[in-house]
Structure 1
C-alpha cells in the first residue's frame, strides 16, 4: 500500500472515530466559548477595555481548549491496542502520527478558527483585527496540536496524563501565544503584521519537520514502558 493511501486511511479513520465520540468534540468548543464569554463578566464589560484585550482572550481560550482535547489524541488507541499495532506496522510511524494530528486539528482546531470571529464581535475586537485573528489562528493552532501531541505521546500510558500534558507543553505554547496576539494587536493599531505571520509560519514549518519525529519516539518510549 502506498504511503499516501496509508495517510488517507489513517486520517479518515480518526475523523470517523472522533465524530462517534461527540462529547470529545463538543467539550473543547464549549470550553472555548465559555472562557471568552465569562471574561467580560469577571473583569469588565466596558467595550473600550474589551477591544484592547479581545485578541489575548480569544488566543488564551483557543490555547486552553486545545490542551483540553489533547489527552484523548492517543488514549483510545492505547486502550484498545491499536497503538501497539501502529508501532509494529512497516509504515513510517511519523507519517501515521501526522495523519492523526491533522485529524485532531480538523475536528478540534479548525472549529475554533470558525468560532473566533463570533467571539471577536462579542469582545468588540476592532474591524482591522478580524482578518489577522483568523490568519494567526490558522497558522498557530496546527502548531499547538503538534506540540501538544508530543506531550500526549509522553503521557499516554499514565492515568492522569492530562495534568502532565499541561505542565509539559504549556511553556512551549508561549511563543505562539505571544506572536499570535501581537499580530492581531498590531493590525488593530494599523501596524504591519508581516513579521509576526512570518515567525508563526516558521514555527509551524519547524514543527511539521521535527514534531512527528519527536511524537513517534515518545510513543515508542511510552508503549515500551
Structure 2
C-alpha cells in the first residue's frame, strides 16, 4: 500500500473513531449485548461450575461473534445516508484503503473492547489461566476476521430494507470456521492440550480474509451505489 493510501486509511479510521465517540450509546450496544448474553447463560443452565466451564469456550465465542456482527451493520449506513460515501468513492485514493480504515475503526471500537472484557467473563465461567490466555489469543486473531467479513455483508446489504437481517444471513455461515477454530483452541487449552493447531488455522483464516475481504467489500460498495 502506498503512502497516500496509508494516509487515507488512518484518516478514515480517525474520522470513524471520532464519530463513534459522539455516539457512545450506539458504540457500547455490542459490548452490552456481549456481557448480558454471556451473563444470562448461568441463570439458564444452572450454577454448576463444571457445566459452566464445559460450555464456556463455545458460549463466549458465539456471544463475541454475534456482538461483532451487531456492530458492523451501521459501518457504511451513516455515510450512505449523508452522501459521504459517494464522495469517498469519487476520491482519487484507493477505495480499499477507505474500507480498511473503516474496518480498523470498527475493530478498535468493538473487537478490542470485546478482547478486554473476555478475561472477566472467562473467570466468571471458571476457566483456568491457560484457557483464558488462549481465549484472548483466539479473539485477537478472530475478531478482525469478523470485522472484515462483516464489512462485506454491510456493503452487500447497503440501502436495503431489513438489511441487518440479511447481513446476519449472509455473514453468519462465513464466520463458522472462525467460531470452530476459536472455541476449539480454548477447549483444547482447558483440557491441557496444545491450542497451537487451532490458532494456526485461525491465523491462516485471518490472512486469507485480510487479502480478499477488502477487495470484495470495495466491489460490493460500487455495485450497491450504482
TM over 0.5: yes
Query: 1:50·1:124 contact (CA, 8 Å) conserved in 2?
Result: yes
Q: Give aligned pairs, total.
A: 224
Pairing of 1:1-225 with structure 2 (within 5 A): 2-224=4-226
RMSD: 1.0
Provide the rounded CA distance (Å) in 2 between the counterparts of 1:23 and 1:140.
25
Note the residue ranges of structure 2 that are not aligned, 5 or more in a row: none
Once the two structures are TM-superposed, the CA of residue 86 in structure 1 deviates from its matched residue by 1.1
Once the two structures are TM-superposed, the CA of residue 126 in structure 1 deviates from its matched residue by 2.4
Provide the rounded CA distance (Å) in 1 between the counterparts of 2:177 and 2:46.
27
Once the two structures are TM-superposed, the CA of residue 218 in structure 1 deviates from its matched residue by 0.5
SS in structure 1 opposite 2:68?
helix
| Superposed structure 1 runs of 4+ greater than 6 Å apart | none
Once the two structures are TM-superposed, the CA of residue 193 in structure 1 deviates from its matched residue by 1.3
Once the two structures are TM-superposed, the CA of residue 124 in structure 1 deviates from its matched residue by 1.1
Provide the rounded CA distance (Å) in 1 between the counterparts of 2:46 and 2:128.
17
Query: 1:51·1:126 contact (CA, 8 Å) conserved in 2?
Result: no
SS in structure 2 opposite 1:2?
helix
Note the residue ranges of structure 1 that are not aligned, 5 or more in a row: none
- What TM-score, normalized to structure 2? 0.97
Deviations, residues 21-43 of structure 1 (Å, cap 9, x unaligned): 11111110000000100001111
SS in structure 2 opposite 1:73?
coil
